[in-house]
Structure formats: C-alpha cells, structure tokens
Amino acid sequence: MFGLYIFVLAVFVGYQIITKVPALLHTPLMSATNAISGISLVASLVIAGGSYGKLSTILGVIAVAAATVNVVGGFLITDRMLKMFKRKK
C-alpha cells in the first residue's frame, strides 16, 4: 500500500511542475516524458537477465529493446529540439 502514497505524491509533484511548462515547450515535454517512461527498462532488465524460462527471456529481450528505443531515441530527440529554442540575439 506504500506504493499508493508514492503514486499520489508523484502525481501531485508532477502536476505542480507540468502545469508550469509553457505551451511553447509542450512537444519537448511530451518527448521528455516519453523518454522517462523508458524507465520500464529497469523492469525489463530483470526479466531478460533472470532465468525464468525461455518464454520469459524472449519477452524480456523484446521489452528491453522496445524500452531502450524510447530511452535512447527520446533523450536524443528532446535534446535536439531544445537546442533549437533560441532567444533573439
């Protein structure tokens, strides 16, 4: 049940931060949270690396690959986008 406290607190903190993100940066926000959701990689790693049977390993490896796509691609593209936002020189 401790997880529920964590969840509610995280929603609250997230709400406070995300409402302050200007509309200007909504696309980078989306790709950043998409990259952060690649945290499911930590769950996939345990399944791919533990020995819970052949099927689990296969599912785990696909999950690791899919989550890695989000982590790698998500951070790269968010940084690429944010680099472009410039103030008037």
Partner 1 sequence: MKLQLIYLAYFASTVLFIVGLRGLTKPDAARRGIILAGVGMLVAIVGTLLHRDIITYQWIIVGLIVGTIIGIPMGLWIPMTKMPERIALSHAFGGLAVALVGVAEYIRHAVMAGHITQFTMGALGFEVFFGTVTFTGSLMAFGKLQGILSGRPQTFKGQNTLTLALLAACLGFVVWLIFSPYLSGLFYTVVGVGLLLGILLVVPIGGADMPVVICLMNSYAGLAASASGFALDNNILIICGALDGGSGFLLAMIMSKAMNRSFGNVLFGAFGQVEQTSAATGGSKPVKSFTVEDAAEFLKQASSVVIVPGYGMAVAQAQHAVGELQEILEKKGVEVRYAIHPVAGRMPGHMNVLLAEASVPYDHLIEMDAINPSMPTVDVCMVIGANDVVNPAARTDKSSAIYGMPIIDADRSKMVFVLKRSMAAGFAGIDNPLFYLENTRMVFGDAKNTIHALNAELKK
Residue 54 is a binding residue for partner 1 (CB under 8 A):
no
The minimum distance between CB 26 and partner 1, in angstroms, equals 3
Instruction: Return the beta strands (E) in the chain as ranges.
Output: none
Q: Residue 73 burial by CB count (10 A; 0-12/13-18/19+): exposed, middle or buried?
A: middle
> Which residues, 13 to 52, sit near partner 1 by CB under 8 A?
13-15, 17-52
Contacts of 45 by beta carbon, 8 Å cutoff, 6+ apart: 60, 64
The minimum distance between CB 5 and partner 1, in angstroms, equals 10
Residue 44 near residue 64 (C-beta atoms within 8 A): yes
The minimum distance between CB 15 and partner 1, in angstroms, equals 6
How many residues make contact with partner 1 (CB under 8 A)? 79
Residue 80 is a binding residue for partner 1 (CB under 8 A):
yes
